[in-house]
Structure 1
Amino acid sequence: MFKKVLIANRGEIAIRAMRACRELGVQTVAVYSEADKNALFAKYADEAYYIGPAPSSQSYLNIDKILEVALESGAEAIHPGYGFLSENSIFARKCEEAGIVFIGPPSKAIEQMGSKIAARNVMIKAGVPVVPGTEGAVASKEEAIETADSIGYPVIIKASAGGGGIGMKIVHSKEGFKTAFHSIQSVASSAFGDPTVFIEKYVEEPRHIEFQILADKYGDVVYVMERECSIQRRHQKLIEEAPSPVMTPELRKEMGETAVRAAKAIGYENAGTVEFLYSKGEYYFLEVNTRLQVEHTITEMITGIDLAKQQLRIAWGEKLPFRQEDITYRGWAIECRINAEDPLNDFAPSPGKIRRYRSAGGPGIRVDSGVHMGYTISPYYDSMISKLCAWGQNREEAIDRMNRALYEYVVAGVTTNIPFHKAVLRNESFRKGKLTTHFIDDHNIIEDVRKVVKEDSTRGATLASALENRDQKIAAITAAVGSYMKAADERKK
Structure 2
Amino acid sequence: MPTPIDWYNGNPLTHRDRRLARSPSAWARSFACEDLKPLIVCRGPIRKEAMDVFEEMGITHYGILLSEKDSIVYANALAPELRQLSDTRRVHRVPDYTGASKEERVERMHQIVQIAKDNGYDSVFAGYGFMAEDGEFVATVEQAGLTFIGPNSSVQDRAGKKDEAKRTALEVGVSVTPGVNNVAARALLKKFDTRKKLQLVDEAREFHIDPKILEEAPLEELAEHVLAGSYAKGMDLFSIDELGAEVQHEVTEMFRKYPGSRIRLKAIGGGGGKGQRILGAKLLGARSPDDQLIEEAASEAPALVREVLSEVKATGVGDNKNVLIELNIEQTRHNEIQLLGNGRWCVSLGGRDCSLQMHEQKLLEVSVTQEGLAASIAAAEEAGRAEEARALRTDLDILKRMEEDAARFGEAVGLDSASTFECIVDRDRYYFMEVNTRIQVEHRVTELCYGLEFENPDDPSDRFVVESLVEAMALLARHGERLPKPRRLPRFRASVEARLNATDASLSPHAGGLIRHWSPPIEGEIRDDQGISLPNPDTGLFMRYKVAGAYDSNLALLLTTGDDRLASYRHLSHVMGRMKVRGVNLATNLEFHYGLVNWFIGQNVLAKPTTRFVVPYLTLAGRLKEEGNKVDLGFAFAELKKHYAKEVAAAAGGDAAVARAMAEVLDRKATLLLRPMERLLDDPHLLSGWLSLNRKLYQLQDGRILWLRNPLGVLHDTYQYLNMAYDPEKPASEVIWHHDHELLQKSLRFYAALRGTFGLERTEFYKLNDILKSETPQGGYDADTWQQIRAAHLGYEAGNELLGMLFMIAEKVRFYEFRVEEDLEVTIPSHLSDPELQARMKKVLVPPPATKADEIVAACGGMYYGQEAPGKPPFVHEGMHFQKGQPLYIVEVMKMFNTMRAPFSGRVDKVLMQGADGTVVQKGQPLFKITPDEKFVHRDPKEIERERRTTTTEHLRGVLMTLDEKFSEVDPMEVEHARRGRSGRLKAVPR
Same fold (TM over 0.5): yes
Which residue of 291, 305, 312 maps to 1:185?
A: 305
Code of the residue aligned with 1:99 in structure 2: it is G
- Specify which of 333, 337, 341 is matched with residue 211 of structure 1: 337
Gaps in structure 2 of 5+ consecutive residues: 1-32, 72-76, 188-245, 284-293, 316-320, 374-391, 452-466, 534-542, 626-679, 688-718, 735-991
The Cα shift of 1:229 comes to: 0.4
User: Equivalent residues in 2 for 1:69-84 (5 A)?
Assistant: 69-84=115-130
User: Is the CA contact 1:357–1:412 (under 8 Å) kept in the aligned structure 2?
Assistant: yes
Deviation at 1:239, TM superposition (A): 0.3
* CA drift at 1:30: 1.1
Q: C-alpha offsets along residues 77-107 of structure 1, whole Å, 9 cap, x if unaligned?
A: 1110112311111110011111110001111
1:275 aligns with 2:422: yes
Equivalent residue for 2:243?
none
Structure 1 residue 341 displacement after superposition: 1.1
CA, structure 1 residues 22+453, in 2 after alignment: closer, same or farther (shift >3 Å)? farther
Q: Cα gap change, 1:177/1:119 in structure 2, threshold over 3 Å: closer, same or farther? A: farther
| Residues 143 and 333 of structure 1: CA distance in aligned 2, closer, same or farther (over 3 Å) | closer
Distance 2:733 2:90 in 1: 40
Alpha carbons 1:330, 1:393 under 8 Å: kept: yes
* SS of 2:81 mapped into structure 1: helix
Residue 242 (str. 1) matches residue 471 (str. 2): no
The worse-fitting range, judged by mean Cα deviation, of 193-202 and 283-292 is 193-202
What is the CA distance between 1:9 and its match in structure 2?
1.1
Q: How far off is 1:410 after superposition?
A: 1.2
Deviations 1:229-271 (CA, angstroms, capped at 9, x unpaired): 0000111101001126757544332210100111122221100
Give me the whole-angstrom Cα distance separating, in 2, the residues matched to 1:91 and 1:125.
27
1:17-73 per-residue CA deviation (whole Å, 9 max, x = no partner) reads 111111111122011123358422234345433323358527998212211111111
Distance 1:214 1:445, change over 3 A: farther
Match of 1:145 in 2: 252
What residue in structure 1 maps to residue 495 of structure 2?
A: 333
How many Å separate the matches in 2 of 1:54 and 1:368?
23
Contact 1:54 1:380 in 2 (8 A): no
Correspondent of 2:265 among 130, 153, 158 = 158
Match of 1:197 among 319, 323, 328: 323
Cα deviations by residue, 1:449-479 (Å, 9 ceiling, x for unpaired)? 855753879979999x956999xxxxxxxxx
SS where residue 341 of structure 1 aligns?
coil
Partner SS, residue 423 of structure 2: strand
TM-score normalized by the length of structure 1? 0.86
How far residue 308 of structure 1 moved from its aligned partner, in angstroms, is 0.7
The yes-or-no answer on 1:357 pairing with 2:518 is yes
List per-residue Cα deviations over 1:267-326 (Å, max 9, x = no partner): 2110010000001100000110000100011111111431110000001024445545x4
CA–CA distance in structure 2, aligned partners of residues 183 and 336 of structure 1: 34
The whole-number CA distance in structure 1 between the counterparts of 2:255 and 2:416 is 36
Question: Which position in structure 1 is the counterpart of 2:573?
Answer: 403
Shift of 1:132: 1.5
Q: Is it true that 1:310 corresponds to 2:465 in the alignment?
A: no
Q: How many residues align?
A: 465
Question: Cα distance, 1:201 vs. partner?
Answer: 2.1
The corresponding residue for 1:367 is: 527
Tell me which residue corresponds to 2:153.
107
User: Counterparts of 2:620 and 2:522 in 1: how far apart (Å)?
Assistant: 26
CA distance in 2, matches of 1:184, 1:276: 24
Relative distance call for 1:327 and 1:469 in structure 2 (3 A) is closer
Which letter does structure 1 place at the counterpart of 2:590?
Answer: I
On the 8 A contact 1:11/1:41 being kept in 2, the answer is no
- The Cα offsets for residues 150-194 of structure 1, whole Å up to 9 and x where unpaired, read as 244413231333432232214252264223312321112322325
Counterpart in the other structure of 2:277: 168
Equivalents in 2 of 1:154, 1:96: separation in Å? 43
Q: Distance in 1 between matches of 2:257 and 2:596?
A: 38
Deviations 1:135-162 (A, max 9, x none): 4216412233123312444132313334
The answer on whether the counterparts of 2:340 and 2:416 sit within 8 Å (CA) in structure 1 is yes
Q: Give distance in 2, aligned partners of 1:40 and 1:461.
A: 31
- Determine the C-alpha separation between the residues in 2 that align with 1:392 and 1:383: 28
> CA, structure 1 residues 426+468, in 2 after alignment: closer, same or farther (shift >3 Å)?
closer
Report whether the alignment pairs 1:119 with 2:135.
no
Q: Which of the two has higher C-alpha Rg?
A: 2
Q: Is the 8 A contact 1:126 1:262 kept in 2?
A: yes
The residue type paired with residue 403 of structure 2 is G
State how far apart, in whole Å, the 2-side matches of 1:467 and 1:176 are. Answer: 59
Alignment correspondent of 2:789:
none
Q: How does 1:79-90 map to 2 (within 5 A)?
A: 79-90=125-136
Query: Counterpart in 1 of 2:560?
Result: 390
Q: Does structure 2 conserve the Cα–Cα contact (< 8 Å) formed by 1:440 and 1:446?
A: no
Give the corresponding residue for 1:437.
611
Contact 1:214 1:223 in 2 (8 A): yes
With 104-113 and 333-342 compared, the bigger mean Cα shift is at 104-113
Between 406-415 and 59-68, report the one with greater CA deviation: 59-68
User: Is the CA contact 2:98–2:131 (under 8 Å) kept in the aligned structure 1?
Assistant: no
Unaligned regions of 5+ residues in structure 1, if any?
471-493
Map 1:44-83 → 2, pairs under 5 A = 44-45=84-85, 47-53=89-95, 57=99, 62-83=108-129
Shift in Å, 1:408: 1.1
> What is the SS of the residue equivalent to 1:120?
helix
* Residue 421 (structure 1) aligns with: 593
Aligned residues: percent identity?
27
Partner residue of 2:878?
none
Matching residue of 2:37: 4
Residues 377-434 of structure 1, C-alpha deviations (whole Å, 9 max, x = no match): 1121212111000111111111111111111111111210001101211224563423
- AA aligned to 2:516 is R
AA paired with 1:255?
M
Whether the 8 Å CA contact 1:303–1:330 is kept in 2: the answer is yes
Rounded Cα–Cα distance in structure 1 between residues aligned with 2:681 and 2:118: 51
RMSD: 3.0
> Is 1:293 aligned with 2:440?
yes
TM-score calculated relative to the size of structure 2: 0.44
User: 1:147 & 1:224 partners in 2: Cα distance?
Assistant: 36
